[in-house]
A and B are shown apart, each in its own frame.
Chain A
């Protein structure tokens, strides 16, 4: 088996709340791996720690109020990112690991041309001259499918549409050919048609450049189409992770089940869903006070006493190799309870 490119072990990122009254455990013991060249989908509702996880990897958590707990471990290409000196860390950011953000409208600096901004990473990391960097920016704009790149390179962000700006963001991120691209909800702010284009673009670039992509999204449809493996997060924890095909064929965690049932399907007859789209009752609890026991139990249709008292560890679902499909749910130990409900 190949070595993972990125290995996150027991990542805990906590935030001290404003009044010092509590600690928000936004990410609480998350572990997963990203292998070279693959696409990993990171899925969950708002507020379950996806973005904090990705920011933690590049150590962009605002400190204070946030901090990554000792004992957390983020290994990239054999080095622990959490112990790197700021200089070494900067050499990785934008160069080996790049990130694109959710809001193309606000993630570009309004006072510089897009060419300047794309060129910046090349100047910082590769020491290109202004002129070479500019040529590089034109090249990148062409690569991400922007028409008239030689002209567009001198445009300001406000002269571009949302989809174009997201393409520019992608061009910025890919200037140095990173090994890992973290895409934090790259399509959430875009129209559906543009979404598909951007995802296709990411897919093509990933194959061409041979990089791994960590795709963060709340949209299972996006994951199904693009990811090789999926990590489902809930309340700061990984509740289920498996290969995409396996996960969609056999979702074992009630939360994953709920998420899948909440996606409108074009091939489901209206009568089967009784005319209404399924929704998971309740909301993600506040990160300052996760429920005791299994964190999903207040919203879980199967919950019983054990769920309220004991937090389940990641259990192996026994699909192929050990660890290929893990689930944090006691149902795995008592599968008859699931069938009794159904």
Chain B
């Protein structure tokens, strides 16, 4: 670790706190107050801001390239020290550097896959809920089938068929197997929204179905969609970590927190740091996401107004 990377790390920490504080200041409305009334909301936000900063500024913060094997003979399995903040792994790569770059993959895959899942889920749910009748019946049976098939099993089959999957394909796979719950949620919301008077009024003004759904129905269903996305990213990240741990997610030598854990599993007793720190990172981020998701739910749910 050079002075520059220490400085960058400190900068990332400061930035995380500053971002959380700024958010708090900006969200002064009743929803913002409900959000920050959650005791875990602010710490969660700090953790997320910190890891997002790491991911974005990885080249500044990481002291070494993520794939660099410094000296496989002398520098493998080094414990954490001033030189190697979190130690080195069995291939003599710096764990801290890999953790920082791994944030890019883990957070990136998690959020992109969730974006895919939420988009598809919202579209399917909105169409099913708005048109009802046979469209609804068909789509919801499809969702039932989707929910009945174990997700990891599907992913394993696909990987077995195609051997190696590229990252975009991995994102799509995780996203396209994860929208079923969201679509049910959105459908329920749309079913109640479509009976609201302003939706009838929009149709009376001559709006077509697409226009009414996109402008009048979905924006009013934004709150539950956002909350389910926030809570969903955590589970998607866990899934990605699991797949990478099994060696079918992010392929080595690209660092992901999941395959980093796998890297250290053989020498867990002698050099626990290789697996421990990426594991901690996953747990921290998922906990933070859940805390922020919970707080968001309370903040965005109008029924909590009185509470």
Contact = CB atoms under 8 A, between A and B. Distances in A.
B198 A93 contact: no
For the side of the interface on A, what is the size category?
Answer: 20 to 34
Nearest to B216: A109
Contacts of A192: none
A106 B198 contact: yes
Contact of A93 (B196, B206, B220): B206
A109 B198 contact: yes
A60 B203 contact: yes
Instruction: Name the residue in A95, A124, A169 with the highest tally of chain B Cβ atoms < 10 Å from its Cβ.
Output: A124
Nearest to B220: A111
B205 A92 contact: no
A98 B203 CA distance: 10
Contacts of B220: 109-111
B203 A107 contact: no
A101 B206 contact: no
Interface residues of B, number: 20
A250 interface: no
A93 B201 contact: no
B161 to A, nearest CB: 43
A93 B197 contact: no
A94 interface: yes
Contacts, number: 67
B204 A94 contact: yes
B198 A125 contact: no
A270 interface: no
Contacts of A90: 206-208
A99 B133 contact: no
A266 B197 CA distance: 36
B208 A109 contact: no
Contacts of B195: 62
A48 interface: no
Contacts of B197: 101, 103, 106-107
B150 interface: no
Interface string B166-210: 000000000000000000000000000001111011111111100
8 contacts: A55-B200, A64-B133, A90-B206, A93-B205, A98-B204, A107-B201, A110-B220, A124-B211
Q: Which 8 A-B pairs have the closest CB atoms?
A: A94-B205, A94-B206, A93-B206, A99-B204, A106-B197, A107-B197, A109-B198, A121-B205
